[in-house]
A = this chain, B = another copy of it.
Amino acid sequence: MVNLELIGSLRQPAETTIVLLVLDGLGGLAEQPGNRTALETARTPHLDALAGEGICGLHEPIGPGITPGSGPAHLALFGYDPVEYQVGRGVLSALGIGFDLEHGDVAARGNFCTLDDDGLVADRRAGRISSETGAELCEKLRAIDLPDAELFVEPVKEHRFVLVLRGDDLHGDIEATDPQAEGEPPIEAAARASGSERAADLVRRFVGEARNMLAGEPANGVLLRGFSRRPDWPDVRDVFGLRAAALAAYPMYRGVARLVGMDALEVDGRLPERLEVMQRNWDDYDYFFLHVKGTDSAGEDNDFDRKVHLIEEVDEHLPTLREQAPDVILVTGDHSTPSRMEEHSWHPVPVMLWSPRCRPDRVTTFGERACLAGALGPRLPATHLMPLALANAERLAKYGA
């Protein structure tokens, strides 16, 4: 894995710009007819030309055989070892709904549940109440007053919500209150480390007050899990010397980018508009993370043709990106989402790096099998991409004399 301290010690300023273009879930498996993956099927003259001038390969987001979630997979692309830099479930959920987490916030995933007369969990999902009801109940719980702490109760969907506690010196090393089984009582929130005592106490108060407020409702209790604190990680500005911007529409990706110190610029869902936003902000940043979500969704929907179509659409816009004359272009996915698996997979992900300073290999087609012969190799750890991009952007000094 990449040694952030070493890379940080070598960073040097440069007037260069790096663009990371992520087609979410890009990698796939070959399908019939044609025995080709979606990327191999798509007509991609511009990506192929870029591959011809650049270096190709396949990256492994986390490690051999490991299927990544979107959060860790993106952290790896940003140069952060996703096994060392772990985001708690509560924090990921808060990021996923676009909640603006501040440093020190503690977040948890919540369920509205039904408790029976003995206080045992009768239904962990309170009969899957509607999203409207869920939102109303969240609104109600916001009235809970906690000593020296702010409280946020944000609806997610149906019975699910996010709880955020904000205050001085709160820590999230707290046992889940969700017994994960019906017929059991909720577990009392307990700190697993002394630093988390205060937050655990606030959670116990919240749970007690919520029960009073919800009495009589079908959803008369709350279950909490995934307690975690917004991590306080080294910033891409400090480690890599990059002023970085995320051009992503989905809250989750914007949130993960913000965790490492990127600005999440306002964009809508369309790629051309995202390229315009990039152009307008070109001089203010050294690094743009451009995220395309549709390819992953198409894979998860088992819609091979839509995935092909979306890849072709990105290809059509590549000349606009190149007109902006970035110094380094990386094109890849965060993980594979083969249509016929309908979910993320562990398969290595096609990647290409282009810069005038790279040493082109013989790959002239951007596709899973073609990339196997590339200079980046068939199983590049994803975390290596950031230092390689920095080197090609002349942003790393020599190590030793």
CA A368 to CA B368, docked complex, whole Å? 22
A372-B375 contact, Cβ under 8 Å, with A66-B396, A398-B68: yes
Q: Is A291 an interface residue (CB 8 A)?
A: no
Of B63, B71, B399, the residue contacting A6 (CB under 8 A) is: B63
A65 & B6 in contact (Cβ 8 Å cutoff): no
B-contact bits for A305-347, CB 8 A (1 contact / 0 none): 0000000000000000000000000000000000001011111
Chain A residues numbered 370-401 whose CB sits less than 8 Å from any CB in chain B: 372-380, 384, 387-392, 396-401
B2 & A387 in contact (Cβ 8 Å cutoff): no
Of B58, B65, B347, B359, the residue contacting A30 (CB under 8 A) is: B359
CA A377 to CA B63, docked complex, whole Å? 14
CA A359 to CA B376, docked complex, whole Å? 18
Residues of B within 8 A of A187 (CB): none
A65 & B397 in contact (Cβ 8 Å cutoff): no
Nearest-neighbor residue (CB-CB) of A87 within chain B: B400
Q: Is A10 an interface residue (CB 8 A)?
A: yes
A residues with CB within 8 A of B: 2-3, 6-7, 10, 29-30, 37, 57-58, 62-73, 82-83, 86-87, 89, 92, 341, 343-348, 357, 359-362, 368-369, 372-380, 384, 387-392, 396-401
A368 & B377 in contact (Cβ 8 Å cutoff): no
A64 & B401 in contact (Cβ 8 Å cutoff): no
A63 & B391 in contact (Cβ 8 Å cutoff): no
Question: How many copies of the polypeptide does the oligomer hold?
Answer: 2
A399 & B67 in contact (Cβ 8 Å cutoff): yes
Residues of B within 8 A of A377 (CB): 377-379
A359 & B387 in contact (Cβ 8 Å cutoff): no
A378-B379 contact, Cβ under 8 Å, with A30-B360, A65-B384: no
CA A387 to CA B64, docked complex, whole Å? 6
A–B Cβ pairs within 8 angstroms, 21 of them: A2-B64, A3-B63, A7-B66, A29-B357, A64-B384, A64-B391, A65-B387, A65-B396, A69-B398, A69-B399, A72-B399, A82-B400, A87-B400, A89-B401, A343-B398, A344-B398, A345-B391, A359-B368, A361-B369, A361-B372, A372-B375
